[in-house]
Structure 1
Amino acid sequence: MLFCAPSMLPQVERLFKSPRMEIQISLDREQAVYTNKDEILGHVILRNETQVDINSITIRLSGSATSRLDVGRATETHQLFKTNIQLFPPKEFASSLKSRAVTVSPGKHVFPFSFSFPHASECYKASLTNGAEGKQPGSKRTQHLLRRLPPSTGDATTVEEIKYLLEATVQQDGLIRGTHKAIREVHFYCTSTMHLPMRGITDKRSVVCQPDLSEPISPRSQEPICEIEATLLNGPFLVLGQPIPLRVEITHLPGASSNYSVSLHDFQSMLIERTEVRAKGTSESKTRSWIIQTMANLRQNLVPGYDDMAEPVLRVDESVWTRHIVPTFLTPTFETCNVSRNFKLEIRLGIWFGRDHMRIFEFQFPVYIVSLAIPGLKVEKQEPAPDYYESLGLEKGLLKETM
């Protein structure tokens, strides 16, 4: 039996004890939000108290989209992309090294890196690599979508979670082998390159306009008809941090009487957000609403104007809504293989025709929320609209997807 003298025990412990090693990922822009136009610049910092044998130091940038179902608690994660860079030893010198490991002296060592985000998700590559998807009994093959990268959203407690990570890995070789890692989340935000304004879209309602009873009614104006139009001037696109590009007009069609006043009494604009998640062949959707603006008792007369045909029209003063913006905390519209988010804009108008006849009009537009720049980081988060609705739908089967 082999015995060690007491004086030798500390030396033996130091021999087999893993040396203290600290790994840190430092970014040139701390607490930054990156866009598809940006480059991630940073350093991997290695601090070791004693000399160590290093096989390799690598860093990876990756993105993933995770969907979670409330029913059945199924979870599915798609890898959006993965990019690796070997920082040490440099590839140009690795082939000339006689040993697989390189001895690194004690101290602080800094290794710079840079990444660019891909233009589109590459989850189809992961599917082709693992080759396991769609082979389980009763499973269906997922059609992976070639789409722009979605923005960071959600967390471990939400039905959807889209995150981007930097992961530094140090492979230690020699007598004591091991893997040391450092992980850091990166916030990604997709911006659009579209040029505004674009061609508008219009929704119309034809209504019976009740005349002011204080005015005489001619036989031809018993049921005056007018048409109310709501137009989104930039088509179906709303820009975060900017007012809704809206125009509201009332046109007096032939046969309508003009001997009465028309005024705006109530106005409300609201975004209805729908998030759809899919996992294990089942999909669910969750809906919530965000009120942008609510105004009542305006008593604002509509402004007369003329369109291209010289037909008299009445217009709602745009100053009613131009002082309110689309909330910047919302995520832009996106779609991945297992998570998607879309929006509807709802406009509600309460309009008085004459003195005692008010009509409520509701317009809904499917819209795309886009961003032309990174929103400010210091934004007060708005709560969902109360007493509207928050629904959870369940639909069996896969959604139809196209490449």
Structure 2
Amino acid sequence: MSHYHTGVPAAPPWSASMSMQASIVLDQPGNISFTNLDEISGRVVVRCSKSVDISTIVVKLEGESRTRLMSSPGPDGERSKPQLEYHKILYRVQMVFPPADVLEGRSRTASGKGSYTLPPGTHEYPWRFKLPFNNACHSQKSMIATSPLATLGLEAPKVATRHVHKTLPPTLSGFPGEAEIRYFVKATVGRHSFFKENPRTYTPFNFFPIEPPRSPPTGSQVYARQKHAFAPFQDAPVKEKMKSIFGKKPSEPAPLAGDAPFISVDARLPEPAVLTCNQDIPLTILLKRLNASSDPIYLQSLQVSLIASTKIRAHDVFRTEQNSWIIMSQSNMGILVGSTADTEGTEVAINEGLWRGKALPNTVAPSFESCNIARSYSLDVRIGLSYSGSSQAGKLSKASMQRSAQNVVLPLRLETQVYSGIAPPAEVIQRMAEARANGKQPLSEPGPAAAASSAMDEKLRTEGRKSSTAGPSSSAPHSPINPEAPQIPARPGRPVPQQPQEEYGDAPPSYEDAIASDVAPVDAPRPDYAPPPTGEDQTFKQDEKKGWVDFREL
């Protein structure tokens, strides 16, 4: 669903008066998402049915990160209260009318008019903005003061105290009334009369950030591993079964059919573990025999899913929401893994064609962290295996084998990052390297943001709301890229790779707008990004003057 207006839209009721309507038309087509360094441009279209007096026409490029969570009940039976947190992560202003020369001439004239008369008809005023790299929230003074709405019993956000200086986050929706990141262009036509409404209009657009610089490939892999030992079957020959039918018990229990398979299963990703939006998953699944048993093992089911954990914060209230995308899922496969000639130590790769060609959906946003919302990912692999024993394979019917088969589903989970696939311009990377060489640090340093994120994790863990990994905690393997888990080498004796944090500081790094102020927009194909359409929740859809107060506009 596109968020762009391809023509002059009908002005909404709240933005129009009987004699004048305002709308915004974008110059860019509606099938792209904007990214850092892009120029977004368009026109403000003002239609007048009769002559009207106006003072200014102002266009704003804005981005907002909003959250709303309910607090816990108080100790004395106090009711839960909504906590609202609001951050203006992007704010650029351009006055398109009157022109600069006219405005300057008016200021020099003591008797200059305070308004201008627009004749009947349609009037267009062009505007243009360049999208920056970083959010602007850290540099903005608090826009939310003690709102008079609170005294009227209406919800109003409190002053936010935590700000993150990072690359602008992507457009995010799908959490109606709880969390939202949105970008839009807004135009306001200022009327000279205090008693006449100022027509307003806005046009939302999707934003998809440039990815951070990638660490060079190490040639190694990170992985999650599960081990499983099948139980041996009892070898019950036909003669012994016949004796038991006539009441003759065998003199001794039936012997075991031999060692049952003892295996390990790995899910591996290239190091560093990064997935790319709209691209295939570079996953490898290996099955290794850990004992001398060569009995056949069958792949019965396989499911690969991407799990998103969205941490939402509204002041002192935290919540983690989970979403999942099934990349592929098959069952009743009955595929022989390896062969009966496999010996101890044999490693067999599962056919990659089962998940190759199945790219990440275009609703997946890249990993990010903003002042009050953060998104992280993990890859969940569930592999179902079946074992029927070697001696029974030739003596029992297929139906009997299926009834007696041992089936197990092994969950494997790998922490990973998701990048947008929009590579930063080479010129920006070069300037960042030059800044570091000259003793300047254009990248964000670890500081309050990382500490606050750790505090959020600890609070969620204490309250029991920290998301668990796949499967029981006793069997779920540690992820090798989890900083809290031990680092497990993918291959014995592999070289220790250079960690991205050593090269980039607080990963993912934040670009400095000064470095890229005169760099041209990215001229390369970019992934399609289509977040879920924004709901009509009135908490987030109302104008700032009707609930979310921006005191710079009052």
TM-score (norm 2): 0.55
The one-letter code sitting in structure 2 at the alignment partner of 1:104 is L
Question: Aligned partners of 1:297 and 1:275: how far apart in 2?
Answer: 33
Q: Does 1:374 align with 2:374?
A: no
Q: Tell whether 2:197 aligns with 1:160.
A: no
Pair 1:222–1:63, CA change in 2 (3 A): same
Paired-residue identity, % = 24
The aligned residue for residue 12 of structure 1 is none
| Structure-2 separation of matches of 1:196 and 1:324 | 25
> For residues 149-207 of structure 1, what are the alpha-carbon distances to aligned partners after superposition, in whole Å with 9 as ceiling and x for unaligned?
22222278341111112111122337986522222222222242656994431222344
Q: Check if 1:202 corresponds to 2:223.
A: yes
Give the deviation of 1:239 after TM superposition: 2.0
Q: Given that residues 380 and 412 in structure 2 are in contact (C-alpha distance below 8 angstroms), is that contact kept between their aligned partners in structure 1?
A: yes
- For residues 50-86 of structure 1, the C-alpha deviation after alignment (integer angstroms, 9 at most, x for no partner) is 3333322110011111111144322211111210001
CA distance in 1, matches of 2:298, 2:216: 29
Q: How big is the shift at 1:353? A: 4.7
SS of equivalent to 2:199: strand
Q: TM-score, normalised by structure 1?
A: 0.74
Distance 2:137 2:194 in 1: 39
Query: Considering only aligned residues, what root-mean-square deviation do their CA atoms show, in Å?
Result: 3.5
Structure 2 residue aligned with 1:268? 303
Q: Which residue of 1 aligns with 2:267?
A: 230
2:312 aligns with one of 258, 266, 277 = 277
Secondary structure of 1:188's match?
coil
| SS at structure 2 position matched to 1:96 | helix
For the residue of structure 1 that corresponds to 2:180, the secondary structure is: strand
Distance 1:127 1:238, change over 3 A: same
The answer to whether the Cα contact below 8 Å between 2:215 and 2:272 also exists between their aligned partners in 1 is no
Give 1:359 deviation, angstroms: 3.6
Q: Kindly indicate whether residue 84 of structure 2 is the aligned counterpart of residue 75 of structure 1.
A: yes
Q: Classify 1:288/1:178 alpha carbon distance in 2 versus 1 (closer, same or farther; 3 Å).
A: closer
1:212/1:353 contact within 8 Å kept? no
Q: 1:53 to 1:263 in 2, by over 3 A?
A: same
Q: Within 5 A, what are the aligned runs for 1:211-360?
A: 222=259, 225-233=262-270, 235-253=272-290, 256-257=291-292, 259-303=294-338, 312-353=346-387, 355=389, 356-360=405-409
* Partner secondary structure for residue 183 of structure 2: strand
Whether contact under 8 Å (1:67, 1:159) holds in the other structure is yes
Q: Return the alpha-carbon distance in structure 1 between the equivalents of residues 115 and 532 of structure 2.
A: 51
Q: Deviation at 1:269?
A: 1.3
- How big is the shift at 1:41? 1.3
Matched residue, 1:65: 65
Partner of 1:189, secondary structure, is coil
Q: 282-291 vs 340-349, which deviates more? A: 282-291
Determine the structure 2 residue equivalent to 1:125: 139
Paired position in structure 1 for 2:56:
56
Structure 1 residues 212 and 247: CA distance shift in structure 2, 3 A: farther
Verify: 1:112 aligned to 2:126, yes or no. Answer: yes
TM superposition shift of 1:323: 3.6
Distance 1:224 1:156 in 2: 46
Per the alignment, residue 41 of structure 1 pairs with 41
Partner SS state of residue 185, structure 1? strand
Mapped partners of 1:156, 1:231: distance in 2: 32
Decide which moves more: 221-230 or 278-287. 221-230
Sort the Cα spacing of 1:225 and 1:281 in 2 relative to 1 into closer, same or farther, 3 A. same
Distance 1:175 1:120 in 2: 37
Question: Tell me, which stretches of 5 or more residues in structure 1 are unaligned?
Answer: 1-17, 134-138, 305-310, 382-403
* Structure 1 residues 210 and 191: alpha-carbon distance in aligned structure 2, compared to 1, 3 A threshold: farther
Q: Aligned with 1:273: secondary structure?
A: strand
Alignment CA distance shift 1:323-1:186 (3 Å): closer
AA of the residue aligned to 2:43: H
Within 2, Cα distance between the matches of 1:61 and 1:130?
19
1:336-357 deviation line (CA, Å, top 9, x unaligned): 1111222222101112356444
Matched letter for residue 362 of structure 1:
P
Q: Residues 50 and 344 of structure 1: is their aligned pair in 2 closer, same or farther, counting only changes over 3 Å?
A: same
Partners of 2:278 and 2:527 within 8 A in 1: no
Structure 2 unaligned residues grouped into runs of 5+: 1-16, 72-80, 148-157, 236-255, 340-344, 390-404, 422-525, 534-554
Equivalent residue for 1:31?
30
More helix by share: 2
Cα displacement (A) at 1:147: 1.7
Report if the CA contact (8 A) 1:303-1:317 is conserved: no
The 1:50/1:366 distance shift into structure 2, 3 A limit, reads same
Alignment pair present for 1:361 and 2:410:
yes
Does the alignment pair 1:87 with 2:240? no
Do the aligned partners of 2:223 and 2:267 also contact (CA within 8 Å) in 1? Answer: yes
Q: Do 1:204 and 1:227's aligned partners in 2 also have CA atoms closer than 8 Å? A: yes
1:13 is matched with: none
Residue 131 of structure 1 deviates from its aligned partner by 8.2
> In 1, distance between residues paired with 2:383 and 2:192?
71
How far, CA to CA, are the matches of 1:118 and 1:286 in structure 2?
Answer: 29
Matched letter for residue 310 of structure 2: T
Shift of the 265–177 alpha-carbon distance from structure 1 to 2, 3 Å rule, reads: closer
* Higher fraction of strand: 1
Question: What is the total number of aligned residue pairs between the two structures?
Answer: 346
**1:366 CA displacement:** 1.6
Following the alignment from structure 2 to structure 1, what is the Cα–Cα distance between the partners of residues 269 and 139?
39
Q: Cα offset for 1:301? A: 2.5
CA distance in 2, matches of 1:191, 1:208: 46
